[in-house]
Amino acid sequence: MLEWQRGQPAQEIDTPALILDIGAAERNIRKMADRFAGRPTRLRPHVKTHKTPILAHKQLAAGAIGVTCAKLSEAAVMIAAGIPEVLVSSEVVGPAKVARLVALSRHARVITVVDDAAAARAISGAAAAAGLRIPALVDVDVGQGRTGVPPGEPALALAREVAAMPGLALAGVQGYEGHLQHVARAAEREASCRKAMQALTATAALLRGAGLPVEIVTTGGTGTHAFAGEFPGVTEIQPGSYVVMDAHYGTIEGVEFEQAITLLTTVISKTRPDIAVVDAGFKSASIDSGMPGVRGFPGAQFVFAGDEHGQILFDGPRADVHVGDKVELVPSHCDTTINLHDVYWVTRDSRLEDVWPIAARGKIW
């Protein structure tokens, strides 16, 4: 059982603990919302990063038109928490998932994506049997090479089939340029993003020219929001990481949001003058984007030393670091690190304000 007291200093929180600086997160939410206030492009932020309904509600209150989820189980958490509109950005395939999509569609507006006619027919049949028409987007591959049909005629051919299905309502296209989010140089990222957006919006125009409905042209992430969000023809963007940020995004030119999450650790051993062992290992932080950063110690490096241990390698002897001291790490990848934790320790002005369950943690199906 977690032991905590509202108002206690953040440095007194037991470790390892995923700290959410709610003031920084709220400023990030407001900053992104302000960038698109009054513009044609709207925000449909991705919640696969923070996985927490209260943050999703804060995004809606700031002007978002709905949220994006990666999986149906994430969507179920958001819908149960009162989120009225959800785009599920991954393909829904198989009888169990189709049944869950139909069930969720009874309680909120759920938009699905398709890149296969047979899979689309399965959703349509189940939806029609339930007396529903589920909004559907044709998923277009704009360069990532993951899901999506090629832009142009292949997308048009699928869109024509979807438009004729009784249980689906063609609503537009999705094209995610995920491969560009971490291109470090802004000019290179912008040029590549514009190429991807040209393919997506040209496909949308092709569908409209064929008399098909295209209400939604959705795309974009934290790394490309400034470019995708201003490209003519894009109607909405799906950034997610901007709310909390991470060390990897900290290396990306022109992505200027505050670091709102850190991993608080305790020094549990220091038998060498230039190395401190802390109580966070592979079970506390992800490594898919590299090692976490070390806050407050320029030149220091973190390395994993097992499931429950990590080492901080200083650039020289540190007589000011002792057993029992607290050290903050900056996660290298926010999404996958957050998914390792049950709760956020929510702080404001360096004092504990609340403890929030990460309600969609582990929702991967």
| Tens-digit pLDDT profile for residues 163-189 | 999 999 999 999 999 999 999 999 999
> Is residue 320 within 8 Å of 327, Cβ to Cβ?
no
Beta bridge partners of 138: 114, 173
pLDDT digits 0-9 by tens, 251-274:
999 999 999 999 999 999 999 999
Tokens 């607290």 map to which residue?
A: 326
Say whether both 95 and 237 belong to one domain. yes
Say whether both 190 and 332 belong to one domain. no
In this prediction, residues 339-363 reach a mean pLDDT of 98
pLDDT at residue number 179:
97
362 domain residue, yes or no = no
Helix (H) or strand (E) holding 25: helix 22-36
Q: What is the dihedral of CA 356, 358, 359, 364, to 10 degrees?
A: 180
CATH code of the domain in which 285 resides: 2.40.37.20
Share of residues in the chain with pLDDT > 90 (%): 99
| 259 vs 21: CA distance, rounded Å | 8
65 domain residue, yes or no = yes
| 292 vs 340: CA distance, rounded Å | 14
> Is residue 203 within 8 Å of 169, Cβ to Cβ?
no
pLDDT digits 0-9 by tens, 33-91:
999 999 999 999 999 999 999 999 999 999 999 999 999 999 999 999 999 999 999 99
pLDDT at residue number 2:
79
Cis amide bond preceding 16, omega within 30: yes
SS3 243: helix
**Domain span at 340:** 10-18+256-357
pLDDT at residue number 127:
98
> Is residue 221 within 8 Å of 203, Cβ to Cβ?
no
Q: Which of 179, 207, 242 is the last residue of a domain?
A: 242
Count other C-beta atoms under 10 Å from residue 352's C-beta.
20
pLDDT at residue number 3:
83
Q: Which of 199, 219, 242 is the last residue of a domain?
A: 242
> Is residue 268 within 8 Å of 323, Cβ to Cβ?
yes
pLDDT digits 0-9 by tens, 280-331:
999 999 999 999 999 999 999 999 999 999 999 999 999 999 999 999 999 9
78 domain residue, yes or no = yes
Say whether both 207 and 336 belong to one domain. no
| 175 vs 158: CA distance, rounded Å | 15
Helix (H) or strand (E) holding 205: helix 186-209
CATH code of the domain in which 136 resides: 3.20.20.10
Eight-state DSSP code of residue 242: G
Identity at 91, one-letter amino acid code: E
Say whether both 265 and 233 belong to one domain. no
DSSP-H helix ranges across 62-143: 72-80, 95-104, 117-129
**How many domains is the chain partitioned into structurally?**
2
Eight-state DSSP code of residue 41: S
Say whether both 51 and 81 belong to one domain. yes
Beta bridge partners of 88: 69
Q: Which two tokens stand for residue 123?
A: 């959703």
| 45 vs 60: CA distance, rounded Å | 9
2 domain residue, yes or no = no
Tokens 């241990």 map to which residue?
A: 309
Residue 1 pLDDT exceeds 90: no
State pTM to two decimals: 0.97
Identity at 110, one-letter amino acid code: V
Q: Which of 242, 268, 290 is the last residue of a domain?
A: 242
249 domain residue, yes or no = no
Helix (H) or strand (E) holding 30: helix 22-36
169 domain residue, yes or no = yes
